Chains A and B, each alone.
Chain A
Amino acid sequence: MNKRLIPLIVFLVLAVFFAIGLTKNPREVPSPFIDKPAPAFRLPEVGNPAQTFGPEEMRGQVWMLNVWAPWCVSCRQEHGVLMQLQAQGVKLVGLNWKDKDREAAALLARLGSPYLSTVDDLDGRVGIDYGVTGTPETFVIDKGGIIRFKQTGPISEEVWKEKLEPMLKELAR
């Protein structure tokens, strides 16, 4: 074989991979938790540790578990959208993930809280149960306590309009 063909062949192999890569979304990490029951937990509430919360309290409702952290820039980005969702009556529960500096309560007091309840996952164990890889991540959980969808990355207005809102409407039926 002509060795001058090698660069061309290498390139063609690369091009095939690129073509396959185009059909995939690198940011979408598949979650093995979809269509499985949301793992149970009981954690103290941020700012009010005497009060605790567990997912079973939300049975019969469609809700979203939003994993966030005060040190997370993208979480701040979606904060405005979450506030709008709360105003529309969307039920959000916050999981304050690995907040080692204990900043969450002050931050929510300053910026306003979009959550029905925010719980404190200081050592990140509940995060592990949910397969959390980073913040923000948001789980959509149906009336029966089954995880139906996982949004990785901030909820923008587009994500809400195109993905989450139709899904929540469907599940609420």
Chain B
Amino acid sequence: MIPEIGHFALVLALLLALVQSVLPLIGAQTGNARFLAVARPAAQAQFLFVVLAYACLVTAFLQNDFSVRNVAMNSFSQLPAVYRFTASWGSHEGSMLLWALILAFWTMAVSVLSRRLPEDMAARVIGIMGLISVGFLAFLLFTSNPFDRLLPAPPDGRDLNPLLQDPGMVLHPPMLYMGYVGFSVAFAFAIAALLSGKLDAAWARWSRPWTTVAWTFLTMGIALGSWWAYIELGWGGWWFLDPTENASFMPWLAGTALIHSLAVTEKRGVFKSWTVLLAITAFSLSLLGTFLVRSGVLSSVHAFATDPARGAFILGFLALVIGGSLLLYALRAPTMLGSARFAAFSRESLLLANNVVLVSALGSVLLGTLYPLFLDALGMGKISVGAPYFNAVFVPLMVPVLFLMAVGPLTRWKGASLPDIVVRLRLAFAVAVIAAVAVPLAAGEFKPWVALGVGLAVWIVYGVALGFADRLKHGGNLLALPRGFWGMQLAHLSMAVGIVGIALVSGYEGERNVKMAVGDTAQLAGYTFTFKGAEAYEGPNFHAARGHLVVKSASGSEFTLRPEKRLYNAGGMPMTEAGINYGVLRDIYVAMGEEIEPQVWTIRLFYKPFIDWLWFAAALMALGGALAASDRRYRIALKDKAAA
């Protein structure tokens, strides 16, 4: 009964989404106030019904209702309750329903927080988001119904993919989708502005906090995914350049460019067309990512069942949404020219440079991701594009972005003096060069990439410090500085932290694959690992061997690691749970291989210097995003607008 209620709620949600999109959009074109007034209640009702549908799906999972195909395929009676809950988005159908739920949530948020927007603008934004909802709800109902019954019901389920049974997976998909789907708000604002022809500073100001919030969620989602890969896959890696990872990284790059471009459009009224195009691009890449993952056109570790009908549906939807938006852009954007002028060296020009390079980097990732598809489609063979391409193309493109990051915030709008900036940053450059040489030498081996990374990080930190010094030149309180300023500086600082992590872990990580019997020892990076044996134990839905290693550092401190090798009861899939000793300066990471003879194991030992700086950088970046989005000037500005 409950699955049928869920199914029916989805049908009602689809009808409401149709009402939410068609009537307000017509109302906005014709000035019909009664049609406009439909937008908010329809969006809120749609949200309620999607919530109801999702609650029904979760109930089916929690109650182990294996007569529902989705539950039977992705859950298991012994599965712990928290993973039965997360299994609700562990399948293709469930994750698409989560997409629709989060889209409905963002629409509801817009409907509540848009009281100060002009009525026709709000109606258009909600209407456009409604059109996207129509597409996704129809996709669910016609190709991917999560409530399909499986009769007769099997006695037990097939279990959730053990890879997904991890705390990191509890939060990674919802965070990632909050980011992906959140870009729909900036997209809807851009399309609404194109439709109305009112592409002004107010439009940019409304879009900014929404974009920043979505970007913040996406940042956290990507970081959680990377952390999950690190602890769960047992190879100590944190980024695999898998097509699906790229699919989440491309909207992030576009979103980062959009945040910067929106700032220029709001403050100076220039780059309007470019900003609109970026807003369309960021959300288009989110949709594209969904297409790439769901349709199976690219092979990836994120394996969901693929079905050509689904791929064709999403491609058609993609063509309508992206093609339609770009056509609208081609028709309407040229009429809106910016008027403000700026000098060749100014904050505007530096932000433009930032955008050009970020978009080039985005293009390089897009090309690398789709290249195998191009070749295959042209019948020129099958290839895969891996780390060497991305390291050779993407990394050099990021260097100028990072270099300009220290310069941009210190440069004035309209026009600045290049010699002044050179004088101000002279010392920063010297300090960065010294650090770039000294740190790798202190680490024991000079590596050019490490030097470059460390130098850029110090350069950025110095730039951030100068930014704060500028603001406090005439006295004042550090905490009284605007949150927008804090947000920007923390986000920039987090890049420095992240680069240090990436540079040092790539430069100095160590790895050994050893065969160990009880009592054997192995050495790695000054640490001595002693294998004390492995014991069997029973988990809720798996049995496991838990290794016991004592690790002694050069300085004599000692700790114990307990890596596990699990065999899941349903499906018999083996999984590693790494044993990790976290530290500010390094992680010691151990994963169990195979038991060759009784109590003789192959064991993988890793030394990962500075890797935790990556997750710390992501947390700092998200904090920056949250601060920037909550800056009070957005609220005041909106109040002024309403009063005027």
Asked if B370 is at the interface (CB within 8 A of a chain A CB), the reply is yes
Q: A22-B308, A71-B594, A103-B602 are in contact. Are A8 and B330 (CB under 8 A)?
A: yes
User: Could you tell me if A7 and B329 are in contact, using CB atoms closer than 8 angstroms?
Assistant: yes
Number of interface residues of A (CB under 8 A): 34
Q: Which residue of A is nearest B306, CB measured?
A: A25
Asked if B595 is at the interface (CB within 8 A of a chain A CB), the reply is yes
User: Could you tell me if A76 and B572 are in contact, using CB atoms closer than 8 angstroms?
Assistant: yes
User: Could you tell me if B370 and A17 are in contact, using CB atoms closer than 8 angstroms?
Assistant: yes
**Chain A: minimal CB distance from B591 (Å):** 12
Q: Cα distance A24–B374 when bound, in Å?
A: 11
Q: Cα distance A4–B333 when bound, in Å?
A: 8
By a CB distance below 8 angstroms, the chain B residues around A19 are 315
CB within 8 A of A17: which of B377, B574, B594?
Answer: B377
User: Could you tell me if B377 and A20 are in contact, using CB atoms closer than 8 angstroms?
Assistant: yes
User: Could you tell me if B297 and A26 are in contact, using CB atoms closer than 8 angstroms?
Assistant: yes
User: Could you tell me if A15 and B318 are in contact, using CB atoms closer than 8 angstroms?
Assistant: yes
Q: A71-B594, A106-B596 are in contact. Are A29 and B382 (CB under 8 A)?
A: yes
Chain A binding surface SS class: helix
Asked if B404 is at the interface (CB within 8 A of a chain A CB), the reply is no
Asked if A150 is at the interface (CB within 8 A of a chain B CB), the reply is no
Asked if B319 is at the interface (CB within 8 A of a chain A CB), the reply is yes
Asked if A50 is at the interface (CB within 8 A of a chain B CB), the reply is no
User: Could you tell me if A18 and B593 are in contact, using CB atoms closer than 8 angstroms?
Assistant: no
Q: A15-B315, A15-B323 are in contact. Are A24 and B377 (CB under 8 A)?
A: yes
Q: A71-B594, A77-B571 are in contact. Are A21 and B373 (CB under 8 A)?
A: yes
Q: Which residue of B is nearest A4, CB measured?
A: B330
Q: A8-B329, A22-B297 are in contact. Are A106 and B597 (CB under 8 A)?
A: yes
By a CB distance below 8 angstroms, the chain B residues around A107 are 594
By a CB distance below 8 angstroms, the chain A residues around B323 are 8, 11-12, 15
Asked if A2 is at the interface (CB within 8 A of a chain B CB), the reply is yes
CB within 8 A of B594: which of A4, A79, A103?
Answer: A103
Q: Cα distance A11–B593 when bound, in Å?
A: 46
Q: A15-B315, A76-B572, A77-B571 are in contact. Are A27 and B299 (CB under 8 A)?
A: yes
Asked if B393 is at the interface (CB within 8 A of a chain A CB), the reply is no
Asked if B312 is at the interface (CB within 8 A of a chain A CB), the reply is yes
By a CB distance below 8 angstroms, the chain A residues around B315 are 15, 18-19, 22
User: Could you tell me if A101 and B297 are in contact, using CB atoms closer than 8 angstroms?
Assistant: no
User: Could you tell me if B334 and A80 are in contact, using CB atoms closer than 8 angstroms?
Assistant: no
**Chain A: minimal CB distance from B572 (Å):** 5
Residue from A22, A23, A77 whose CB has the most chain B CB atoms within 10 Å? A22
User: Could you tell me if A14 and B370 are in contact, using CB atoms closer than 8 angstroms?
Assistant: yes
Q: A24-B376, A76-B574 are in contact. Are A7 and B594 (CB under 8 A)?
A: no
User: Could you tell me if B572 and A80 are in contact, using CB atoms closer than 8 angstroms?
Assistant: yes
**Chain A: minimal CB distance from B361 (Å):** 17
Chain B binding surface SS class: helix
Q: Cα distance A107–B596 when bound, in Å?
A: 7
**Chain B: minimal CB distance from A102 (Å):** 7
Asked if A159 is at the interface (CB within 8 A of a chain B CB), the reply is no
Q: Cα distance A76–B567 when bound, in Å?
A: 10
By a CB distance below 8 angstroms, the chain A residues around B329 are 4, 7-8
Asked if B268 is at the interface (CB within 8 A of a chain A CB), the reply is no
By a CB distance below 8 angstroms, the chain A residues around B327 are 8
User: Could you tell me if A11 and B322 are in contact, using CB atoms closer than 8 angstroms?
Assistant: yes
User: Could you tell me if A21 and B377 are in contact, using CB atoms closer than 8 angstroms?
Assistant: yes
Asked if B573 is at the interface (CB within 8 A of a chain A CB), the reply is yes
Q: Which residue of B is nearest A10, CB measured?
A: B326
Q: A14-B370, A20-B377, A26-B376 are in contact. Are A101 and B326 (CB under 8 A)?
A: no
Asked if B548 is at the interface (CB within 8 A of a chain A CB), the reply is no
User: Could you tell me if A26 and B326 are in contact, using CB atoms closer than 8 angstroms?
Assistant: no
Asked if A94 is at the interface (CB within 8 A of a chain B CB), the reply is no
Asked if B127 is at the interface (CB within 8 A of a chain A CB), the reply is no
Q: Cα distance A106–B370 when bound, in Å?
A: 42
Q: Cα distance A80–B569 when bound, in Å?
A: 12
Asked if A128 is at the interface (CB within 8 A of a chain B CB), the reply is no
User: Could you tell me if B312 and A22 are in contact, using CB atoms closer than 8 angstroms?
Assistant: yes
Complex interface bits, B324-343 against A, C-beta within 8 A gives 1, otherwise 0: 00110110011000000000
User: Could you tell me if B594 and A22 are in contact, using CB atoms closer than 8 angstroms?
Assistant: no
Q: Which residue of A is nearest B295, CB measured?
A: A22
**Chain A: minimal CB distance from B377 (Å):** 4
Q: A8-B327, A14-B370, A22-B308 are in contact. Are A70 and B594 (CB under 8 A)?
A: yes
Q: Cα distance A8–B291 when bound, in Å?
A: 18
**Chain A: minimal CB distance from B541 (Å):** 16
By a CB distance below 8 angstroms, the chain A residues around B322 are 11
Asked if B130 is at the interface (CB within 8 A of a chain A CB), the reply is no
User: Could you tell me if B297 and A21 are in contact, using CB atoms closer than 8 angstroms?
Assistant: yes
Asked if B311 is at the interface (CB within 8 A of a chain A CB), the reply is yes
Q: Cα distance A20–B315 when bound, in Å?
A: 11
Asked if A5 is at the interface (CB within 8 A of a chain B CB), the reply is yes
Asked if B86 is at the interface (CB within 8 A of a chain A CB), the reply is no
> For chain B residues 539-597, which have a beta carbon within 8 Å of chain A?
571-574, 593-597
Asked if A172 is at the interface (CB within 8 A of a chain B CB), the reply is no
CB within 8 A of B595: which of A2, A4, A27, A106?
Answer: A106
Asked if B69 is at the interface (CB within 8 A of a chain A CB), the reply is no
User: Could you tell me if B330 and A26 are in contact, using CB atoms closer than 8 angstroms?
Assistant: no
User: Could you tell me if A77 and B573 are in contact, using CB atoms closer than 8 angstroms?
Assistant: yes
User: Could you tell me if A18 and B574 are in contact, using CB atoms closer than 8 angstroms?
Assistant: no
**Chain B: minimal CB distance from A96 (Å):** 13
By a CB distance below 8 angstroms, the chain A residues around B377 are 17, 20-21, 24
Q: Cα distance A11–B283 when bound, in Å?
A: 14
Q: Cα distance A11–B328 when bound, in Å?
A: 14
User: Could you tell me if B308 and A8 are in contact, using CB atoms closer than 8 angstroms?
Assistant: no
By a CB distance below 8 angstroms, the chain A residues around B295 are 18, 22
Q: Cα distance A73–B297 when bound, in Å?
A: 24
Show 5 A/B contacts (Cβ-Cβ < 8 Å), sorted by A: A8-B326, A8-B329, A18-B315, A26-B298, A70-B594
**Partner-A contacts on B (CB < 8 A):** 273, 277, 280-281, 284, 291, 295-299, 308, 311-312, 315, 318-319, 322-323, 326-327, 329-330, 333-334, 370, 372-374, 376-377, 382, 515, 571-574, 593-597, 602
**Partner-B contacts on A (CB < 8 A):** 2, 4-5, 7-8, 11-12, 14-15, 17-27, 29, 70-71, 73, 76-77, 79-80, 101-103, 106-107, 110
Closest 9 pairs between A and B when the two form their complex, measured CB to CB: A20-B377, A8-B326, A21-B297, A26-B299, A4-B330, A22-B311, A5-B330, A21-B373, A7-B326
